[in-house]
Amino acid sequence: MSTAAPPPSLTLHRSSVTSAARVTAAATAAPGNAAHLSNLDKLFRNRGASSVETTSPPATVSPVLGTKRRKQPLLRLPSFLTRRARGAGEDPTTSSAPAMSPRRLERLLQPVAPDGPSPRGNIAATWRRLHGEDGWRGLLDPLHPDLRREIVRYGEFVDAAYASFLSHPDASPVAGGHGHHRLSPPALPDAAYRVTAPLFATSSVKLPPWLATAAPCAAQRTSLVGYVAVCDSPGEVRRMGRRDIVIALRGTCTVLEWAENVRAGLVPATDGNNSDEKSSPETTSPAAAKVECGFWNIYKTAGEHSPSLSEMVVSEIRRLLEQYKGEELSITVTGHSLGAALAVLIADELAGGVAGEANAPVAVFSFGGPRVGNRAFAARAEARGARVLRVVNAHDVVPRFPPANLPLPGYADVGRELRLDSRASPFLRPDADVACCHDLEAYIHLVDGFLGSHCPFRDNAKRSILRLVKNQGGNVKQLYISKAKDLRIQLDSADMPGPMMLGRAGDMAGAAASTVVECVH
> Between 408 and 457, where is the model more confident?
457
Mean pLDDT of 402-420: 86
Residue 11 lies in a domain: no
Query: Over 70: is that where the pLDDT of 39 sits?
Result: no
pLDDT, residue 443, reads: 96
- Mean pLDDT across the chain, nearest whole number? 75
Residue 36 lies in a domain: no
Residue 21 lies in a domain: no
> Between 180 and 506, where is the model more confident?
180
In a 3-state reduction of DSSP, which class is residue 87?
Answer: coil
Question: Taking the alpha carbons of 59, 62, 68, 72 in that order, is the dihedral positive or negative?
Answer: positive
Q: Can you tell me the distance from the alpha carbon of 242 to that of 256, in angstroms, rounded to the nearest whole number?
A: 38
pLDDT digit string (tens) for 165-210? 988 888 888 643 444 445 778 889 899 999 999 999 999 888 777 6
Mean pLDDT of 8-33: 42
pLDDT digit string (tens) for 391-400? 999 999 999 9
pLDDT, residue 216, reads: 67
Q: Can you tell me the distance from the alpha carbon of 81 to that of 325, in angstroms, rounded to the nearest whole number?
A: 49
Q: Can you tell me the distance from the alpha carbon of 403 to that of 517, in angstroms, rounded to the nearest whole number?
A: 27
Query: Over 50: is that where the pLDDT of 111 sits?
Result: yes
Confidence of residue 404 (pLDDT cuts 50, 70, 90): confident
Q: Note if 62 is an active site residue.
A: no
Confidence of residue 305 (pLDDT cuts 50, 70, 90): confident
Query: Over 60: is that where the pLDDT of 323 sits?
Result: yes
Which CATH number does the domain housing residue 473 bear? 3.40.50.1820
pLDDT, residue 63, reads: 36
Query: Over 60: is that where the pLDDT of 467 sits?
Result: yes
**In sequence order, what E strands does 357-422 have?**
362-367, 373-374, 386-393, 411-412, 416-420
Mean pLDDT of 461-483: 82
Active-site choice (131, 168, 438, 521): 438
Query: Over 60: is that where the pLDDT of 299 sits?
Result: yes
Mean pLDDT of 298-303: 92
Residue 6 lies in a domain: no
Query: Over 60: is that where the pLDDT of 81 sits?
Result: no
**In sequence order, what E strands does 162-289 have?**
193-202, 222-231, 243-249, 266-268
Say how far residue 158 (Cα) sits from the centre of its chain.
Answer: 6
pLDDT, residue 315, reads: 96
Q: Note if 337 is an active site residue.
A: yes
**In sequence order, what E strands does 255-414 have?**
266-268, 290-292, 329-336, 362-367, 373-374, 386-393, 411-412
Residue 90 lies in a domain: yes
Q: Note if 425 is an active site residue.
A: no
pLDDT, residue 409, reads: 67
Q: Can you tell me the distance from the alpha carbon of 16 to that of 34, in angstroms, rounded to the nearest whole number?
A: 21
pLDDT, residue 215, reads: 65
3-state SS, 434-477, equals HHHHHCHHHHHHHHHHCCCCCCCCCCCCCCCCHHHHHHCCCCEC
Q: Could you list the residue range(s) of the whole structural domain that residue 166 is in?
A: 60-486
Q: Can you tell me the distance from the alpha carbon of 365 to that of 363, in angstroms, rounded to the nearest whole number?
A: 7
Most confident among 49-58, 67-76, 214-223, 274-283 (mean pLDDT) = 214-223
CB atoms within 10 A of CB 227: 26
Residue 495 lies in a domain: no
pLDDT, residue 206, reads: 80
Confidence of residue 438 (pLDDT cuts 50, 70, 90): very high
Active-site choice (271, 348, 396, 433): 396
Domain count for the chain, please give it. Answer: 1
pLDDT, residue 408, reads: 65
Active-site choice (203, 310, 337, 514): 337
Residue 343 lies in a domain: yes
Mean pLDDT of 406-410: 70
Residue 26 lies in a domain: no
